Amino acid sequence: MNKKQKVQFVIDTLNEIYPEVPIPLDHKDPYTLLIAVLMSAQSTDVKVNQITPLLFELADTPYKMVKLSIEEIRDIIKPVGLSPMKSKGIHGLSEILIEKYNGEVPQSFEALEALPAVGHKTASVVMSQAFGVPAFPVDTHIHRLMYRWNLTNGKNVAQTEKDAKRLFPKDLWNKLHLQIIFYGRQYSPARAWNLDKDIITATIGRKSVIDSYYKKK
């Protein structure tokens, strides 16, 4: 297969396995999604979805959030990890949303990335999943799979995102990045990987990755 054929194989296979993909983080609006995504850094969606109801029961808007102290936020979100940094970020960005945006989440990458504790990936998730703006947030699953599939050199997530946006049609980005995440979790994990079940990597994967897999068996 040439690269164009490989890309189409990925698209076709993922559409067959995941014709519909839910948003992994539970939320009700752009603000609660922003907070959930921020909390998900170096944590799992399952853990975040267990903790956000506790936080949002007390504060599901910026106006309610700033009434909590940083220490109160930290105590609630401690199970997701990195709670000192995340609690400061949640409180700080809530203050900014009130001061600059009338309590609304801004709909631009630049404005989002200027908020405390909000990086490019978080901004991309919010723009994609809350506002429907084409984006390709790259998490560890996408970074790993794009390398395994020989669609990027794997140097860093920035290069992986650039390659993904170059290879895949823009109108598919928002659905496709979620499909790849679900596929990575189910069929191509970092550990306990079974190549026999990973049809995409087995079909188009990087030779060195496949050879390494069989050497370890």
Residues tagged active-site: 121, 139
Element housing 184 (H / E): helix 173-187
Angstrom distances, CA of residue 90 to CA of 35, 45, 141, 210: 7, 17, 25, 42
Question: 187 lies in a domain?
Answer: yes
| Claim to verify: residue 36 and residue 122 sit in the same structural domain | yes
Query: 155 pLDDT exceeds 90?
Result: no
Angstrom distances, CA of residue 168 to CA of 132, 133, 160, 211: 17, 15, 12, 27
CATH number at residue 64: 1.10.340.30
Question: 195 is in which domain, residue-wise?
Answer: 3-20+137-216
Question: 25 lies in a domain?
Answer: no
Query: 154 pLDDT exceeds 90?
Result: no
CATH number at residue 10: 1.10.1670.10
- Residue at a domain's end among 129, 162, 196: 129
Residue 49 · residue 74 · CB < 8 Å: no
pLDDT in tens, 10-66: 999 999 999 999 999 999 999 999 999 999 999 999 999 999 999 999 999 999 999
pTM of the model: 0.93
pLDDT in tens, 108-126: 999 999 999 999 999 999 9
Question: 191 lies in a domain?
Answer: yes
| Claim to verify: residue 48 and residue 115 sit in the same structural domain | yes
Question: Concatenated DSSP letters for 49-110?
Answer: HHHHHHHHHH-SSHHHHTTS-HHHHHHHHGGGS-HHHHHHHHHHHHHHHHHHHTTPPPSSHH
